[in-house]
Structure 1
Amino acid sequence: MTTLIAGANVPVPAGPLTLVIRRSANAPTADASALLLGSDGKVRFDEDFVFYNQPAAADGAVRHIGPTAGGEAVTVDPDALPGDVERVVVAASVHEGTFAAVPGLSLALLDGAGVTAATFAVPAGGSETVMVLGELYRRQGGWKLRAIGQGYDTGLAGLAGDYGVDVADDAADTPPAGTLPVVPVGATPGWEPPPYSDEPTMRLPAPADDPQLAGLPPEVGARVSLRKEAVRITLEKKGLTGVRARVALVLDRSGSMRQLYAGGAVGRLVERMAPIAAKLDDDGELDAWIFADEYAALDTVRIPELPQWIANNVYIDGRNKRPQAPPLPDGSQRVPDLLSGVYGGNNEPAVIEDILRRYRGEPGAPVLVLFYSDGGVNRSKQIQRLLTEAAGLPIFWQFVGLGRSDYGILERIDTMPGRLVDNAGFFQVDDIDRISDVELYERILSEFPQWLTAARTAGVVR
């Protein structure tokens, strides 16, 4: 039997499966539900929402069993699922009160013989009325179970609506606009969440109140304002209020990243990372690097200059004068590519060494490195050596994989031996644009607090 933590995954046994929602004795009932999702992260039609009032999917591959001796349950037959179903999300909901009153919440995966193959102890809840406990998802011709443990305070209707189910309007339950969804403390990366929605937990500050936003286009200022507040809430939940840290951004510029640059995904990613530095760094600035076969340190990212920084730095022009969007703000193409030396394959060790040189020479607050790559990692031994040697420095490396590829040592980074402290984390997402800001910040900041505690204990951070 495998014991999972939030964000971890495990291959599932062959054949029909049962997912059982358990709780402590005398705790309120937690009703089971499941959603069958397509490649867009939404239900294909309303019948893909399986719960007590709709106990089976149209094809019968997913069924709501309800109360059993072990707890509420749903059954899933992966072999019977239609080919356009990519994921099956399993959730629990309470009719009255919140999950703060449901101790001992867990999800168990049983094989066709009723033998428990995996369990996940869900982090204690707070104001949530619905918890997404886990998901079954397709992976390399098979299926895996990923532990999640994320929550909403908007009930079953809020969950259903986020995944595309047509929910009848209820004015009494309509939340005010300009707010963010609840995510419980202890949530960990490693899943595909629903898109951003407007469920309430916090009011957004007026953009005009923030001097950093002066001069930004109104729509950019509004997004940055919202994201700074999302970061603040995440830091508060992680116990990081008042913590100072420098933040560095590292962007993969290898040839395989062309589409992400051309479609604007990398530019949007930079816009989402700048608020992290705004809340952690004393000067609110984001150090930046790009890498491919070679690397380059870029100008510092400052929020007042964000659109121009993205226009100047976030592109791949390629060689042979083949422009790869976006063009310059005036519509002209970027020929020649002023960063043409940073092109080709992946040489992570070179940029890691440059980052180490920079911060060894600039002692100060601890450093959070946000390192984005689309895979093709083939220098695992060098990366392992550098990160092992760097474990004695006040630097935490958060690697993020963009897409399904080979990430080499990064996929095993949490179990990499020989380090003074665990100074690195890794998670992978299929489509960074589909990850809500709240969930992205939760993932990025998931392991940083634990590292900070361990680094202080070891004398790495003072």
Structure 2
Amino acid sequence: MTSKSLGKGANLPVAADSVRAVFGWSGGPGAPRVHVWALLVGPDGRVRADGVVGGPQPQHAAEPVETRPDGPVEVRLAALSPETDRVLLCATAEGGTFGGLGGLELLLTDARDGAPVAEFAIAATTETALVGGELYRRAGQWRFRAVGQGYATGWAGLTADFGAVEPVEAAAPADAAPAPAAPAPAAVVPAPVVPAPVAPAAAEPAEPDWVLPPALPAATEPPPSTVHLRMPPAPAAPPGPAPTTPPGPAAEPSPTPPPPPSTVHLRMPPSGPPGGADAAAPPYVPPVTPPGVPPVGHPGPYQGTPPAGIPVPSLPVDMGKRLSLRKQQVAVSLAKHGAAGVAARVVLVLDASGSMAGLYRKGTVSGVVERMAAVAAQLGEDRPMPAWTFASYPARLPDLVLGGLLEWLQVHVRVGEISLFGRPKKPRKGLLPGQVDMRMVGIQNEEQRVIAEVRAYVRAYPAPVPTLVLFFSDGGVYRNAEIERELREAVEEPVFWQFVGLGQSDYGVLERFDTLPGRRVDNVGFFAVDDIEVLSDPELYDRLLTEFPQWLKAARAAGILH
């Protein structure tokens, strides 16, 4: 049995009751010392108060999780309590960065018989802490995701994203040497202090083996420019025809490309906020329109209804009836929450990352868009709805005009694609007018980029009404610090962000925004649904619009809206 080689962001189910995770690398002169940790994350998305396993606490007091300083992490998944929703498999570098190591990878095996489960090649440069992968629950089953998130700010970066508390230094004899066996458990004092290690005097005890490197000044971690994906070898003459699609359910397909080469050097997008040429020139292609008609989707001012005398496409009869009924249901939901007759510009954002592929194939995303068109029509008085899609990069889609809803769904609702040779310089041939080359979008989750782009659009083209952003994603959120920064800054803007989770994945900081302090108003709403297709229209609209009227009142009282 061979393990499955995963690309960054890919995931797979874990059938083993107990697993062993091992970081592998090759060192050399000046290479850093690596220490391994497990962080236990609760259902709230934060590391539990007693959730740091490693260093002075190599074994958890209550959960079946244990580590060795530079060895494996062992987790008995079947025995974990509901208080642990995820286990982050982490490492820190002492005396250097992970860029000083060669062949850095994370291997996951069955702890009972050593059978390989997955392997993940990790790219690193200036990082001194990283989350290699995570074990997480989904629909009652444990899964593994290849994360590869690094932090040049060391443990402080992990703290900002997950709320982990650095273990407090334990005393060690001066002549103590690193031992392969796990030391006896020691108490952990939960103090959010990150002391820089100080060289001990000759008479003082030697520094313990597990001490973390000092935190660097806060900064956005420099990203790796290349990820080296180790690909599985081609199977040797398997019986029967080789399948063209991955076996099993298609809900979370792995974005790992097909495996003819043994290694693929994949250029990855930068980890920070958008900037440079990519931000200045997003991959947007304006559609071809009849003479005299403003280009639909052009990033311009708040648009009114089409001018008189210009024909607008008509909807199929059944779709038109559904839209009319849904507009009435939206109006009822608004009235129920004290916002009858309110007007707003509605912006749609669609996650196109690789894990969404199954939802696109099943038509779930198309169904969501059709239902959101009714929200935009009721709040925006049938004006065109601006729309974005995103994965590694955001892309502006043509505005959705109600009369062209059917054609819009057929042309623009698509999952992202991966390009083995970096981000293409030119769109591929054969695209329809206004269609985005999804290779430009990629397959990773980089929510902060599309949030920044929507914010820039709202600032550049103010509307006389507030803006409601309807943001759909299946999770996999890991840029928590960057997302939080964008949404905190957006508090002073006339925009409310309604996030909807399509499944049971990890939504990071989005789930915690209702309780985040330090904001004048709560500008974010979030809820998740296991299967949005079985949620009735009235219930969906009630959940979508519950917080929006409250935000309107609070924003007006705070002077954000006039």
Q: Please give the TM-score of this superposition, normalised by the length of structure 2.
A: 0.42
Aligned partner of 1:289 in structure 2 is 388
Assess if the C-alpha contact under 8 Å between 2:476 and 2:507 holds in 1: yes
* One-letter amino acid of the structure 2 residue matched with residue 447 of structure 1: E
Moved over 6 A (4+): none
Question: Using the alignment, how far apart are the partners of 1:255 and 1:218 within structure 2?
Answer: 34
SS at 1:305's partner residue? helix
Decide whether the 8 Å contact of 1:318 with 1:337 is kept in 2.
no
C-alpha displacement of 1:316: 2.5
250, 253, 258: which is aligned to 2:352?
Answer: 253
Aligned mates of 1:428, 1:408 — CA distance in 2? 12
1:244 positional shift = 1.3
Once the two structures are TM-superposed, the CA of residue 266 in structure 1 deviates from its matched residue by 0.5
Match for 2:376 among 260, 266, 277? 277
Correspondence 1:309 to 2:408: yes
Letter in 2 for 1:385: R
Q: In the alignment, which of 460, 476, 486 is matched to residue 361 of structure 1?
A: 460
Q: Distance in 1 between matches of 2:354 and 2:405?
A: 24
Distance 2:462 2:357 in 1: 35
The correspondence for 2:340, drawn from 214, 220, 241, is 241
Q: Alpha carbons of 1:399 and 1:382: their partners in 2 closer, same or farther (altered >3 Å)?
A: same
The 1-side partners of 2:549 and 2:432 are apart by: 43
Instruction: Summarize deviations over 1:401-436 as a string: whole Å, max 9, x none.
Output: 010101100111100111121000100000111111
Do the aligned partners of 1:213 and 1:221 also contact (CA within 8 Å) in 2? Answer: no
Aligned-partner residue type, residue 408 of structure 1: G
Match of 1:406 in 2: 506
1:27-426 equivalence runs, <5 A? 215-316=314-415, 318-319=417-418, 338-364=437-463, 365-426=465-526
Q: Conserved in 2, the CA contact under 8 Å of 1:235 and 1:241?
A: yes
Deviations 1:307-359 (A, max 9, x none): 011111002373589xxxxxxxxxx999x972221121100010000011000
Q: Distance in 2 between matches of 1:394 and 1:337?
A: 28
Task: Work out the CA distance in 2 between the residues paired with 1:359 and 1:214.
Answer: 27
Q: How many Å separate the matches in 2 of 1:361 and 1:449?
A: 25
| Kept in 2: contact 1:389–1:419 (CA 8 A) | no
Matched position secondary structure for 1:342 = coil
How much does 1:452 deviate? 0.5
Instruction: Name the aligned partner's letter for residue 247 of structure 1.
Output: V
**Structure showing the higher helix proportion among its residues:** 1
Counterpart contact for 1:316–1:337, Cα < 8 Å: no
Q: Equivalent residue for 1:157?
A: none
Which of 431, 435, 440 matches 2:531? 431
Partner SS for 1:419: coil
Residue 397 of structure 2 aligns to a residue in which SS?
strand
Counterpart residue identity of residue 322, structure 2: R
| Paired-residue identity, % | 49
Aligned-pair CA distance for 1:213 = 9.7
Tell me the secondary structure at the aligned position of residue 405 of structure 1.
coil
Consecutive unaligned residues in structure 2, runs of 5 or more: 1-42, 45-137, 142-310, 421-430
Note the alpha carbon deviations across 1:56-112, whole angstroms, 9 max, x for none.
xxxxxxxxxxxxxxxxxxxxxxxxxxxxxxxxxxxxxxxxxxxxxxxxxxxxxxxxx
Secondary structure (helix, strand or coil) at the match of 1:341 reads coil
SS class of match (1:357): helix
Deviation at 1:242, TM superposition (A): 2.0
Distance across 2 between alignment mates of 1:250 and 1:405: 18
Q: Kindly indicate whether the alpha-carbon contact (under 8 Å) linking 2:395 and 2:436 is maintained by their aligned counterparts in 1.
A: no
CA spacing shift, 1:366–1:320, aligned 2, 3 Å:
closer
Look at both structures and tell me which one has the larger radius of gyration over its CA atoms.
2
The alignment partner of 1:385 has SS state of helix
Secondary structure of 1:384's aligned partner: helix
* Partner SS, residue 279 of structure 1: helix
CA contact (8 A) 2:502 2:530 kept: yes
Distance in 1, Cα, partners of 2:389 & 2:462: 22
Q: How many residues align?
A: 247
Q: Distance in 2 between matches of 1:396 and 1:266?
A: 22
Counterparts of 1:140 and 1:381, CA distance in 2 = 28
Note the residue ranges of structure 1 that are not aligned, 5 or more in a row. Answer: 1-8, 11-137, 142-211, 322-331
